[in-house]
Structure 1
Amino acid sequence: MTADTGAREQDRHGEVPVVVPGPKGVPLLGSLPEFGKDPLAFFERLRGQGSVVSWNFGGKPSLFIADPDLVGELLREVESTFDQPDLGVAFRAVLGNGVTVARGRDWRRKRSLVQPSVRPKQVRSYAATMASCAVDTADGWRDGQRIDIKREMAALTQRIAVRTIFGTDAEGDVEAIGRAMDIAQREIGAEFSGIGAVLPDWVPTPGRRRVKKAAAVIDREVGRVVAAHREDGERPDLLSRLLTAQDETGARLSEEEIRDETVTLYIGGHETTSSTLVWAWYLLARNPQVRAALDEELDRVLGDREPGFDDFARLPYAQAVVQETLRLYPILWLLTGIAKEGASLGGLPISPGTRVWTSQWAVHRDPRWYGDAEVFRPERWLEGADESIPEYAWFPFGGGPRVCIGARFATVEAVLILAVLGRRYDLDIDPGEIRPMTTLTLQPDRDMLATVRARGGGA
């Protein structure tokens, strides 16, 4: 790889990109301390230096890429010339070897078994549950009531996840799973951006002990639900589909694999949507003109009725609100791959073992691809908008062969919940800036307190 301190960014007309030297960091740890202090700001600084920037992550040679063409190439080449990295003992303790972690033939087999459960036809069948749970939440709110939006959205999406995955509210200790997931998210984020990222798996840190306890709770509750399903027979839910899925040899998922995929689907159907909605309410409260445009669409399309799956396509502005929220506050905030023999990006050879990083946070906020990049403007996503956004300048669900299989589920869920609650209520969020916190997903750094205001004629 060549370096040129004067190089700025890749020419988007096919020239081979140039590697720009990045921060030197400190002996042994490289830039890990700076990265761990504020990963989002760190990636934004690297983005400002060029489209391919070299840096050192805990003694490991690394590259950061910020050009959408290179991001797309990295995502498409995972499973080919780039490997999925090992994301650490804390991550493995929670997600095991599920479809988001598995590699090679094992990944292809698991994806073929899990993907049918979240195809468009199945998502349509879950839409009624999504809307019904949102209506229950709306029915429980009152004008002038004080709520914690984080808690309310977590409870709502958790209820949806439990019903769509397990088919019931009653089985298992849902609150125990929720608490365990919260602990796991925090500790995974802390380990990934701290000294735990370079410690051997056998080192027993306090954070790792907390993750193991949380994983034990998750294992116990998921095992209880799976056992009940086996006794009751097939049901129209995600777990039943996993239990009966067969690969090309007729083999089914093992007990351990069922556990891993159930947890993966739970996180995808609960944690990611919950966080997206929290950030959506935050942005809507601070942008009254956007809120007014959303209200107009909800009133015009829905009137005094609740939404169903077919309304998803009739609510393009609500979809744009979700899409713009995921641009500014992407729930997944970084992706990384490890170069194998023969790896390259934009024609630039990448040495085997090099870790290549990109960040949705940094790329999504790049003024090269977005006018008024820091401004919440859903209109940029509407049909006919004149803003030209390159492919892979927006990738909140990843991309390529390993794109998130639950993206459709999460998007439909977020839009329907926004429609149900937004049709009836405004949320006046307490003043003060809320900052993103880098756990497993991008979370608000404090509780988000608000006053519920009934909309005229909507309730």
Structure 2
Amino acid sequence: MSTETGPAVGAEPRGHRIAPGPKGLPFLGNMPQFARNPLAFFERLRGHGDLVQWRFGPNSCVFVADPECIGELLTETERSFDQPALGIAFRTVMGNGVVVARGTEWRRKRSLVQPSVRPKQVRSYAATMAGSTVELADTWSGGERIDIKREMAALTQRIAVRTIFGVDTPADAEAMGRAMDVAQAEIGKEFAGIGALLPDWVPTPGRARIRKAAAVIDAEVGRVVARHRDGGDERPDLLSRLLTAVDETGAHLTDEEIRDETVTLYIGGHETTSSTLVWAWYLLSRNAGARAALHEELDRVLGDREPGFDDYARLVYAQAVVKETLRLYPTIWLVTGVAKEGARIGGVAMPEGTRVWSSQWVTHRDERWFPEPEAFRPERWDADAGDEIAEYAWFPFGGGPRVCLGTRFAMVEAVLILAVLARRFELEVDPGTVGPVPTLTLQPDREVLATVRARQRVRRAG
């Protein structure tokens, strides 16, 4: 490994080695290549090997593409790898919530937030998920033209508001939605651009926009939290559980911590599920066989009734559709950590301070782990007849101690929404390719317009 791209590495007992990546520029390193198209850049790195060195500005980085090594990165977070110091745009919106916190503070916050999204609690939210979707379905009619992005965003926002806040809308749901859109876009721009190298105190137009968006988010969350505190009644929503949670010392979350965790849960329950559903409708519209298999399962399991939580386990193909969608279009498209002293990946020493990156987009589309990687094949997730999938070859929710706390919530929500709507309708997405844009989450690069087609269900005997 050349001295230009970083320091020498240690022993390599498992056969892994760090390959040099594409040549970078002085000071900027490979940042211009990364900024132009992060997904294509990571794919290019994968062509160099499973462990590839590159530079993000002056920072020495290693890109990891092998599932075994990805598993080490994820499972050794907190012990061997730190969370990176994320940009000012990200921190302005997310604060210091459980996604950002480190060490003892992270463990405390996780212990307080985790009970709110355990299976028992997710069961209690399922009726809201299905009921909100039925309300949307009742407004659709055959032949209608819709913007799927807008429809799914409005639906998952409604579900998030009802399950998190326990009300139909916060003080101004539309304002909060617009602020979240601005925040997501600006976080993506700063992360991939020169803003990632600028000190926090340097003013930029993007940072001004994100401060304004964060102020709206803070105001709306603050109003709803105040309403909860004044209400006095015990409620089953996530916010109520956060307000009453206590740590091992008997201390509650502070107002600032409540704000940070509420925003984290809102983004996890709204933004990520919304984009996953958009990609699912897009893929189903272009795969008649998968669409027919989904309809057959819905007719067989549900008949003429709406789904509930207990149906989730029976809707195996619907789960596979969501999993396959998350394979091809993972909402969270990268993970990263900073090596502590003594850290290793694949038996190779990672010098302290090295930033280790991995991308779900790249590994999920690697033909070594997924035959026909570009094909949408939900059947590959069949427990009996599907592909043998290596551990950590699929990691849309991360993994290890910092795995996404809302994984169960997100999967149940996506499956129930898909079941309610696909039982009644097909969405015929307009011709043309929709590409991904890596912002805070992986978003479609344009409107996803579709024609609603009412289904004629096959009634089953008995």
Per the normalisation by structure 2, the TM-score is 0.96
Q: What residue in structure 1 maps to residue 352 of structure 2? A: 352
Q: What residue in structure 1 maps to residue 101 of structure 2? A: 102
The code of the aligned residue for 2:90 comes to: F
Whole-Å separation in 2 of the counterparts to 1:458 and 1:85:
53
1:345–1:3 CA distance, 2 compared to 1 (3 A): farther
SS at match of 1:356: strand
Q: What residue in structure 1 maps to residue 410 of structure 2? A: 410
Deviation, structure 1 residue 147: 0.4
- Cα contact 1:3–1:18 (8 A) shared by 2: no
Deviation, structure 1 residue 385: 2.4
Q: What residue in structure 2 maps to residue 291 of structure 1? A: 291
The CA RMSD over aligned residues, in Å, is 1.4
Deviation, structure 1 residue 87: 1.3
1:161–1:17 CA distance, 2 compared to 1 (3 A): same
SS at match of 1:313: helix
Is residue 2:324 matched to residue 1:324?
Answer: yes
Whole-Å separation in 2 of the counterparts to 1:161 and 1:405:
15
Q: What residue in structure 1 maps to residue 301 of structure 2? A: 301
Q: What residue in structure 1 maps to residue 362 of structure 2? A: 362
Q: What residue in structure 1 maps to residue 453 of structure 2? A: 453
Q: What residue in structure 2 maps to residue 131 of structure 1? A: 130
SS at match of 2:156: helix
Q: What residue in structure 2 maps to residue 9 of structure 1? A: none
- Cα contact 1:3–1:19 (8 A) shared by 2: no
Per the normalisation by structure 1, the TM-score is 0.96
Percent identity over paired residues: 71
The code of the aligned residue for 2:310 comes to: D
SS at match of 1:336: strand
- Cα contact 2:158–2:169 (8 A) shared by 1: no
Whole-Å separation in 2 of the counterparts to 1:330 and 1:207:
26
Q: What residue in structure 1 maps to residue 270 of structure 2? A: 270
- Cα contact 2:161–2:169 (8 A) shared by 1: no
- Cα contact 1:16–1:348 (8 A) shared by 2: no
1:59-112 Cα distance to aligned partner (Å, 9 max, x none): 110000000000000001110111100110000000000000000000000000
Q: What residue in structure 1 maps to residue 377 of structure 2? A: 377
Whole-Å separation in 2 of the counterparts to 1:3 and 1:360:
28
Whole-Å separation in 1 of the counterparts to 2:278 and 2:386:
29
SS at match of 1:374: coil
- Cα contact 2:299–2:457 (8 A) shared by 1: no
Whole-Å separation in 2 of the counterparts to 1:386 and 1:294:
16
Deviation, structure 1 residue 235: 1.1
Deviation, structure 1 residue 170: 4.0
1:320-378 Cα distance to aligned partner (Å, 9 max, x none): 00000000000000110001101011211110011100000000000111100010000
1:41-70 Cα distance to aligned partner (Å, 9 max, x none): 110111121000000111110000000000
1:180-224 Cα distance to aligned partner (Å, 9 max, x none): 000000000010001111111111111111000000000000000
The code of the aligned residue for 2:251 comes to: A
Is residue 2:192 matched to residue 1:157?
Answer: no
SS at match of 1:71: helix
Q: What residue in structure 2 maps to residue 17 of structure 1? A: 16
Deviation, structure 1 residue 386: 4.5
- Cα contact 1:90–1:188 (8 A) shared by 2: yes
Matches within 5 A, 1:237-248: 237-248=237-248
Whole-Å separation in 2 of the counterparts to 1:354 and 1:44:
20
The code of the aligned residue for 1:166 comes to: F
Whole-Å separation in 2 of the counterparts to 1:86 and 1:242:
26
The code of the aligned residue for 2:331 comes to: I
Q: What residue in structure 2 maps to residue 7 of structure 1? A: none
Whole-Å separation in 1 of the counterparts to 2:268 and 2:35:
25
Deviation, structure 1 residue 290: 0.5
Q: What residue in structure 2 maps to residue 120 of structure 1? A: 119
Which region of structure 1 is more displaced relative to structure 2, 93-102 or 379-388?
A: 379-388
Q: Which runs of 5+ in 1 are unaligned?
A: 5-12
The code of the aligned residue for 2:171 comes to: G
1:135-192 Cα distance to aligned partner (Å, 9 max, x none): 0000000111110000000000000000000001144111111000000000000100
Deviation, structure 1 residue 383: 1.3
The code of the aligned residue for 1:374 comes to: E
Deviation, structure 1 residue 305: 0.6
Is residue 2:73 matched to residue 1:49?
Answer: no
Whole-Å separation in 1 of the counterparts to 2:304 and 2:456:
11
Is residue 2:423 matched to residue 1:423?
Answer: yes
